[in-house]
Amino acid sequence: MRGHADGRAVSRADDLWRPRSGCGPWCLPDPTAAGTGTGAGSVPVARRLGRLLRRVGGAQAVWRDGRWWYVPLPDGPPVDEIRATDTGQVSWWRRGTLVRATEPPAPSWQGQPIGYATCPDCVPGTRLRRCRCLLDGDQDCRHCSGAALEPSEFVCTSCGDSGRVPEAVTVTLTDLDGFAIHELWRADHDDPGVPVAGWPGGAPVLRLDRRYRLAERAATLGVRPADLVDADGGLPLHRDLREGLVFPDGTTVPALVRFVRKAAAGRPGARLIVAAVRPVTPPLAAVLRLGAGLGLDVAVTVTDQRPDPDQPLREAGRWWSVELVAPGTPDERISPPGLPSVEAAVGFCLRMLDGAVHAAVPADVQVPLVVPQMPRPDADPWIGVPSRGVVDPTVALLRLARHYPDRFVRVRFQADGCVVGLFERAGWVPVVRAAGLAAALGALGLRP
C-alpha cells in the first residue's frame, strides 16, 4: 500500500488473480472509520483494500469529509508506448492501466465545477493556430492561403495549448506565510470597464472594476505592486493582471470575458496563484563581487520609462536586468531590462548562475580555467573592497537612468573597469569607459 499527502491510499496487486469482468460502479463508505488513517487506524484500511484486491486489479482509499471511501480500480484500456533507442531502433511495449470504477461523493466544501469551451484559435495537439487574416479580412493571405489556420512555433495565447478555454478562474493571493485570499472570477456579469488609454481613432484600453486590480491589494500584504509574482515560475505578474487592463483585440467579445480567459489560459485547473512576497536577495554589490571573483562580466541594464501622452500603451516605470556573462560576450546577446525591481533582477541572475558559469568554460581544452578568487585590494570600490565596505551601486545606476530617460542604459563591469553604453538604432554604443562606476559618473558630469 502506498500513501499520498492528500489523504489517499492506493494498493495494487499485479501478481494476484484478476477477474475477467470488472466490478460495477460502486463505492463503499466506511462509517466506522475515525481519525486520519494513521497509526492503528491504517490497519482496517489495509484490510479493506486487501478484500477489494481479491476482485479487481487495484483499490483506492480516499479520506473525504471525515470518513474513508473505498474505490475499486478495474483494468482500463492498455496504453502503447513507443520510444527511440540510442541505436536508432524503436522499442514498443504495452502498459496496463487502472481506472476508478466510480468517483466518491464530492467534498462538501467543493463548489460548482468550472466549465470550459473548446479553444477556437488552435487545433489541439498540432502547431496550427488561427490566422490573423480572419480579423483583417485578407482573402489572399500568404500565411494560410485561405485555410484560416497557419503553423506557429508559439504557444496558443487563448488556451496555452490545453485546447480548453475556461469560463472562470480561481485566484489565490498569498504571502506564503499563512495569509491567503481566494476569489472566483467569473464572466457572468457585465463589467464594461472604464477607458484609460488608447491610440487616437482606435479602440480604447479598458480598466475593470477594483476587484480585478491585484496591484491595489499589494499594500494590504505589505509589498509593492512590482513584488506580485506568479507562483508558477516566479516571474512578475503581467501588467494586465496587476492593473485589470483589457487591450482591444478587434473582436466583439466583452472585456470581462477576454480578461478572465487570459487569466486562466494554460493554467492547470484554471487556477492563478499570486505570491505577494518582497524578494530576499543579496545587494547588487554582492553580485558584482561574485562576478569579479569568478572572472565573469556583470552587465546591469536599467531604463527609466516616463509617462508619454503620445504612447499611452507603454508601461512606465523602472526596469532592470542583471546578468553574469563570459568576457567578450556581445551586448546583443545580453537580456534587455524587463524586471520591475532590482531585487527581482538579482534573484533571476542568481537562478541562472549555473548556466553562466557553464557558458564561461573555454571550448578549447588547452585554455586554462579561471580560478575563483577574492577581489584585489585595489579593486574598484563599486565592486566592493573588504577594507572599505561594500557600496551598493543601485543609486548610481538610477542616477544614470534619470540622466538618459526612456533609453536603455547598460553598465558592463569587467576585469579592467566598466563601460557605460546606450542602445541606439544601430545597436549598443559605448558612451564612456572608466576604471570604475564612480569614475564613469564623474566623466559624465554626474555625482554618484
Q: Give the burial string for 357-389 (b: 16+ CB within 10 Å, else e).
A: beebeeeeeeeeebeeeebeeebbbbbbbeeee
- Per-residue model confidence (pLDDT) at position 174: 93
**DSSP states of 433-445:** EESSHHHHHHHTT
Neighbour count for residue 417 (Cβ, 10 Å): 15
- Per-residue model confidence (pLDDT) at position 330: 92
| Tens digits of residue pLDDT in 352-386 | 999 888 888 888 888 887 777 766 555 554 444 44
pTM above 0.85, yes or no: no
Mean pLDDT of 257-262: 90
Task: State percent of the chain over pLDDT 90.
Answer: 22
List Cα–Cα distances, 115 to 124, 168, 269, 270, 272, in angstroms.
18, 7, 11, 10, 16
| Tens digits of residue pLDDT in 282-339 | 989 889 888 888 889 999 999 998 877 666 677 788 999 999 999 889 999 999 998 9
